[in-house]
Amino acid sequence: MSPIRPLLRRDQLAKALGRDLAGESLVDYSSGMFLAAPRRTGKSTFLNNDFIPECVQRGWLPVYVDLWSDRDAAPAELISGAIGAALGSFEGALAKAAKKAGIDKINLLRTLSWDFTRPQLPEGTTLAHALAVLHQVSGQMVVLIIDEAQHALNSEDGLNAMFALKAARDHLNRGDRPDGLRLVFTGSSRDKLANLVLKSKQPFFGASITPFPLLGREYVEFITDLWNRRLAASNQFKVEDLAYAFELVGRRPEMLNKLLAEVSVGLGEAGNLGELLRTGALNHQAGVWSDYESAWNDLSALQQAVLEVMAERTLGRQPFSPFTEQTLRDVNRKLEQARAEINASTTSVQKALDALRDKELVWKANRGEYALEDASMAEWLARDKAAGRS
């Protein structure tokens, strides 16, 4: 039996965020809405299937771009491509007429020379200018949604794109006229997204990070019913067992479906799911935890100590400053607990961070801030430690 790919509509959440974005609630997102949740917990699904339709229903123009879709592409190119596609959609009829006449370029509101043979914005066009034109031609408030926005921090180009969006926001939302632009950013790491808002030199200084509400009991009940429809009446999953499994996999729908499929193809009857989970007969985390453990075992004692301190900072929602006296003391304490050589210094910690970056366990922003590449590893370390790892 192949995994079921359910789609639970989250209309109420979409409406609530829409009200927040519109300024109809006590929350002010005029400077930008920043939503953070671990990878594969349903952010992109929600944006495309619930939030974007809510924007359309409100008469707004949503423009969506996923910076994870092409990690080799410059963030500014991906963003300008999405804006360009939106602009092009308003010139469809005119473009057809122009092409029939053998004309590739037309003048858009006498501000942009638009080449319909190219997907990108005209060379030299700023993001602020393009968004202003899009707002003007559409007559709608533009909602620019940037998924996995933390990738913009990997380069100076990406950071400049964020400053350009800030300039566009300030330009389109000034004066007595109705606001022309709202910005929505999502990320799989709160720590990474924070590098856009926490310091005065960051583009959206002063904005807050909002935890994206993860799927919960409603989803568990939904998927239990969905699977049980395909099973015999005598072989049904129990809601409580699925709720337990869903927590084990970090509330990740795809991983839960893998677990359920694993049971369905022969490991046991649906009614035994809870027992199978609790006795360890199933791969609880669908391979993720074992991947973390394998990566951990390949690290030196110092690299493990640095990673542990980073994980504790992540879970405590504290910034990680690698070379402060407190951090070096904390790393040395971890080394002492592991009965390893106590050798943490600015130089050795820097080397450890470089090695962790090479192993793709640690991420570094263009301006030097560090964070875990996958914040879920902090959860694994905490669970593993609680389970008695020495």
Q: Classify residue 2: in a domain, yes or no.
A: no
Is residue 30 domain-shared with residue 77, that is, in the same domain?
A: yes
Q: Are residues 86 and 225 in the same domain?
A: no
- Within-domain flag for 4: no
Tens of pLDDT, residues 345-354 = 999 999 999 9
Tell me, what's the pLDDT at 219? 94
Closest by CA to 87, choosing from 73, 106, 74, is 106
Domain containing residue 173: CATH number: 3.40.50.300
Based on the fold, state whether residues 356 and 324 are members of the same structural domain.
Answer: yes
Per-residue pLDDT at 204 exceeds 80 = yes
Q: What is the pLDDT of residue 308?
A: 92
- Domain endpoint, select from 211, 243, 260: 211
Tell me the CATH number at 303.
Answer: 1.10.10.10
Task: Identify which of 79, 249, 93 has the alpha carbon closest to the alpha carbon of residue 158.
Answer: 79
Quote the distance between the C-alpha of residue 255 and its chain's center: 17
Instruction: Judge whether 232 lies within some domain.
Output: yes
What global pTM score does this model have? 0.76
Residue 190: pLDDT band with limits 50, 70, 90: confident
Distance of CA 48 to the CA centre of its chain: 13
Claim to verify: residue 69 and residue 128 sit in the same structural domain: yes
Same domain, 268 and 323: no
CB 38 within 8 A of CB 375: yes
Element holding 65 (H helix, E strand): strand 61-66
For residues 49 and 86, membership in a common domain is answered with yes
CA end-to-end span of the chain: 40
Q: Is residue 174 part of a domain?
A: yes
Same domain, 186 and 102: yes
Q: Which residues contact 383 (CB under 8 A, 6 or more apart)?
A: none
pLDDT digit string (tens) for 39-96? 888 999 999 999 999 999 999 999 999 998 887 888 888 998 899 888 888 766 445 5
Number of domains making up the chain? 3
Q: What is the pLDDT of residues 155-185, one digit of tens each?
A: 888 889 999 999 999 999 887 777 899 999 9
Domain limit, last residue, from 265, 286, 307: 286
Please tell me whether residues 49 and 178 are part of one structural domain.
yes
Same domain, yes or no, for 338 and 247?
no
Domain boundary among 211, 236, 259: 211
Q: Give the mean pLDDT of 5-27.
A: 89
Domain identity same for 62 and 125? yes
| Side chain identity at residue 275, one-letter code | E
Domain containing 68 equals 11-211
- In whole angstroms, what separates CA 158 from the centre of its chain? 16
